[in-house]
Amino acid sequence: MYDMGVCEDIVNIDISDAVIRQMQERSGSKRPKMSYLLMDMLQMDFSDAHFQVVLDKGTLDAILTDEEEATLAKVDKMFAEISRVLQVGGRYLCVSLAQAHVLKKAVEYFCKEGWVVRVHQVASSGDKQQFVLPVFVYVMTKFRKIPGSAPQILEICPEEQDKPMRVESAERLVAAVKDRQHYALLCSQLSKTPCGEQVSLDLCDRESGRPRYTLHVVDSPSVKPSRDNHFAIFIIPQGRETEWLFGTEEGRRQLATSAGFRRLVTVALHREQHYEGMAGIQAELSGKVMELAPPGLPARQQVPFLSVGGDIGVRTVRHCDTSPLSGEYVVEDVKGDGTCYFRRLIFLRNRNVVQSEARLLASVPLPGQKKRRKDKKPSLTEPPATIDRSYLCCEHHKAMVAGLCLLGGPDPLPGAPLAVRVVGLGGGSLPLFVHDYFSQAHVAVVEIDPSMLEVATRWFGFSQGDRMRVHVSDGLDYVAKLAAEGTACPCQSQYDAVMFDVDSKDLTVGMSCPPPAFVEKPFLRKVKTILKPEGVFVLNLVCRDARLKESVLATLREVFPLLYTRRIEGEVNEILFCQPSPEGQRDPTELRARAWALEEALRQPGHPWDSSYVLADMLQAVKIL
């Protein structure tokens, strides 16, 4: 500082006489205005308000080695002396590695004194740095203490930006520093060895502090090394982060291998953020992603940014709201492959799962409406607005419909009278398809959340009619009521099919669909009661807990004599088909014949859409069963 001309009036103190003599000899006549004094900082000889700056390079870290009472008392005495010798408006600068207990103590003490507290990250880890952990400087600015409770001013200024960010509490400030320390350790580890497991991290927006990018680091040791295949960045198009290839570990591993890079960093874009195209993202991320580079990356190696089709996709948020039962949710339109657009319902408590999805169709002008001028090109980024009710986007919905092949009866299914009960509405795609696809089906839906009925009606083309009714009720209570009515009066009509597609609001359980109460034995017996003997109970099961899943399957087998399982490739979902009577078991040849008959019926002239893709899924279901 003296030699650079920053300041010459500098007083240095130390408790060691040997150190003071050594430093006096080193400076000598070269720094005549610099002084070295033997002194204890816990009891300094200076007058009050003597200095404008007190600089501490590692002393606090050396003293505050634990949180014993004696240690904390010594630190309090040190801080009191610093406060005494500083002028109002003066600053205490403390260079530190910012261990959590050290930072917490300093922040709490000076906040209580009414000082402004700011933490600067001044050096990160890297080849040029001495430490793996980043170095911080606490900047504590002395203000006159205001009687009463003055608002705390707490700020953090990361290395990569000049403007400090305000934080609301000492706990949040400590957490923000800890995040940067963990990131430094991660970068150090990734720069030395390949990662065995996939590593994920969020990069947050500087202004709001909300996640802006979610990164996954995927290493592929099986890829043979060459000069150009060390490292690449893959930008996931907006709205496609939930797809199997991008949203699962196995999918990302397959993506990295097929891309041919030894380390691939996938980048998911968040819906609350705005992005200036691929070039803008590349400029924003280039410096940060290089901190995640693999060992052995050649110097000045150009790192490619990849994507699907070379763009960042299109995401248009149509509606945001909060439901007392489902929490925050969003309805958004996203661009899929080619020119296809899809509308999705996302519950933000589980933002990586698509709750409901529908394909969108281009609007067709009504009679009397003016057609688009030929010289006006259609927008490439504006999604169409009409819901394609004939298309099932979710693979598990296709499998659930395919299970209707198990139903008995002589009539081909599209024209056969069916009574179907669906528990769980979502966007309404599943009950709508059954209603439209089976012309004589009467569909009754139970949905606990009235907000979902509004969402399905307004945004997903759902409507009620003579053959489609929605009951806003708890599915558990409604099925119990139906079972009680059926027991009291056996003449009450029963259902050909009961379908459960209902999510659990409790994310602490290893089963996200259905809630555990829906697969307890007493309730399953009630479900069996409302089914016809030749009927089918179709359950969408999403369970990551292997023991819990085995328990659910065992309970189902105790209640239903026939249980078929259909796994959805690339997803956690399994579709369970349960039948109440062993007489319902059919020969595979018969099932295949019924599926072909169903397909032929749908191919008759006048059928409003081509649903052969569902029939192919039905045949696949029969094959697996």
Span 526-571, pLDDT tens digits = 999 999 988 999 999 999 888 999 999 999 999 999 888 888 877 8
Q: What is the mean pLDDT of the chain?
A: 85
State the greatest distance between any 2 C-alpha atoms of the chain, in Å, as a whole number. Answer: 110
Torsion of the alpha carbons at 235, 237, 242 and 244, rounded to the nearest 10: -70
- Overall pTM surpassing 0.75 (yes/no): no
Banded pLDDT at 581 (limits 50, 70, 90) = confident
Q: Provide mean pLDDT across the span 158-162.
A: 71
DSSP for 132-184, written as a single string? SS-EEEEEEE--PPPSS-PPP-EEEE-TT-SS-EEES-HHHHHHHHHHHHHHH
Quick one: CA dihedral 278, 280, 282, 288, positive or negative?
A: negative
| 119 touches 139 (CB < 8 A) | yes
Chain mean position to CA 4: 49
Strand pairing report for 11-14 and 315-323: unpaired
Return all residues near 544 (Cβ < 8 A) that are at least 6 apart. Answer: 510, 511, 512, 572
Residues 89-126: tens digit of each pLDDT: 999 999 999 999 999 999 999 999 999 999 999 876 55
Quick one: CA dihedral 187, 191, 192, 198, positive or negative?
A: positive
How far, in Å, CA of 408 to CA of 279, rounded? Answer: 58
Q: What percent of the chain has a predicted confidence (pLDDT) above 70?
A: 85
Give yes or no for residue 615 having a pLDDT over 80.
no
Q: Provide mean pLDDT across the span 62-86.
A: 95
Give yes or no for residue 132 having a pLDDT over 50.
yes
Give yes or no for residue 392 having a pLDDT over 90.
no
Q: Specify the DSSP class assigned to residue 249.
A: H
Q: Provide mean pLDDT across the span 453-471.
A: 95
Buried b (16+ CB within 10 A) or exposed e, 439-469: eebbbbbbbbbebbbebbbebbbbeeeebbe
Give yes or no for residue 366 having a pLDDT over 90.
no
Q: According to the model, what pLDDT value does residue 524 have?
A: 96
Banded pLDDT at 195 (limits 50, 70, 90) = confident
Buried b (16+ CB within 10 A) or exposed e, 204-241: eeeeeeebbbbbbbbbbeebeeeeebbbbbbbbbbbbb
Of 255-259, 440-444, 517-521, minimum mean pLDDT range: 255-259
Q: According to the model, what pLDDT value does residue 221 have?
A: 83
